[in-house]
């Protein structure tokens, strides 16, 4: 009998501090109209001093545990998707594990940029399918505003902070139907951060840590790649586009989301959209949209969900789920 991973509970955490497009107008040469027309973003949440990727993740995780009706002691494994860990080591997953109090279980981070939550979900699903683990906590969490260049109007308007969490449980009934993850390092120059431990930091503010992106090229690649991803995912499950109830995309740009929905022949009222409120929260974004859809009652048990993401690396991935 096949073992499935089923979503038992979800949770989210967003910093209280909100930065609107009008706030950005005061610090960089941009405008609310320009940002909305090109991205669909109206505001984003920004961490304050003392808030970190792990503190956001812990809050999201506790909400997911509560929604699932379990405690941290019931978790067998923690997988965290993030590109903005608190520290080089210990991993963010280990920091989260310590605070939650589930010592002894495996805990590790996955870095796949904006595809991090899909990668983490895929890894967790494989552990459950193997029969070795019964309940896994999957987290996507980021504090990207700590690494944006606030003088670069093409990138600083895009990103926000947040965390999302999913509790996956072993089940005999269909849950995650399939996951698909890919990468192409050949396109790494289009979206990256050019400093690190091995290559070294720079004698600049924040060590030279900043996001660099060739926006138009990333946009074109994302639309083409996600279109192929949709076809691959549906073909693997012998399903038609019409059988998908909800598209839950990475929240990078409303134009990319709209283009992906069009390829699925889906109306936008079948798409969970949070980019206007959250901006691009990278690995947190798919989970944030999923949690919102569930908590608002839009997503119901039995619905077929298509999750997808595209990020720096390039990385991309999808998951087809019966909720």
Per the structure block, which two tokens stand in for 58? 């812990």
Per the structure block, which two tokens stand in for 53? 């990727």
- Annotated active-site residue 45? The verdict is no
Question: Catalytic one among 45, 187, 250, 278?
Answer: 250
Per the structure block, which two tokens stand in for 309? 């993401």
Distance between CA atoms of residues 143 and 116, nearest Å? 14
- CB burial of 110-119 (b: ≥16 within 10 Å; e: otherwise) equals bbbbbbbbbb
β-strand 18-20 against 135-143: which pairing, if any? Answer: unpaired
Q: Cβ distance 304 to 27 under 8 Å?
A: no
Burial of 236 from C-beta contacts in 10 A (0-12 / 13-18 / 19+): middle
3-state DSSP assignment of residue 49: coil
The residue to which tokens 């431990």 are assigned: 197
Question: Catalytic one among 114, 187, 253, 278?
Answer: 114
Distance between CA atoms of residues 268 and 260, nearest Å? 10
- Annotated active-site residue 114? The verdict is yes
- Annotated active-site residue 187? The verdict is no
**Residues involved in catalysis:** 114, 250, 280
């Amino acid at each position: 009998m096949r073992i499935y991973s089923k979503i038992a509970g979800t949770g989210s955490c967003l910093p209280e501090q909100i930065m609107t497009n009008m706030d950005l107008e005061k610090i960089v040469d941009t405008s609310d109209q320009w940002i909305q027309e090109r991205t669909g973003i109206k505001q984003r949440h920004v961490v304050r001093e003392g808030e970190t990727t792990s503190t956001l993740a812990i809050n999201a995780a506790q909400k997911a545990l509560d929604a699932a009706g379990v405690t941290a002691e019931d978790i067998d494994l923690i997988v965290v998707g993030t590109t903005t860990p608190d520290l080089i080591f210990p991993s963010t997953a280990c920091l989260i594990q310590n605070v939650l109090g589930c010592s002894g279980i495996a805990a590790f981070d996955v870095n796949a940029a904006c595809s991090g939550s899909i990668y983490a979900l895929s890894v967790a699903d494989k552990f459950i399918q193997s029969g070795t683990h019964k309940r896994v906590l999957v987290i996507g969490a980021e504090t990207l505003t700590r690494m944006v260049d606030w003088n670069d109007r093409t990138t600083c308007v895009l990103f926000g902070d947040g965390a999302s969490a999913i509790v996956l449980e072993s089940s005999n009934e269909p849950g995650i139907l399939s996951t698909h993850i890919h990468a192409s390092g050949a396109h790494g120059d289009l979206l990256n951060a050019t400093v690190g431990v091995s290559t070294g930091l720079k004698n600049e503010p924040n060590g030279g840590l900043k996001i660099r992106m060739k926006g138009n090229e990333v946009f074109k690649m994302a639309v083409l790649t996600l279109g192929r991803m949709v076809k691959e995912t549906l073909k693997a499950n012998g399903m038609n586009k019409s059988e998908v109830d909800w598209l839950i995309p990475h929240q990078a740009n409303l134009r990319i989301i709209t283009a992906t929905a069009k390829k699925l022949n889906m109306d936008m009222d079948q798409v969970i959209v949070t980019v206007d409120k959250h901006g691009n929260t990278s690995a947190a974004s798919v989970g944030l949209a999923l949690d919102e859809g569930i908590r608002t009652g839009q997503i119901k048990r039995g619905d077929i969900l298509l999750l997808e993401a595209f990020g720096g690396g390039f990385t991309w991935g999808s998951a087809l789920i019966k909720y």
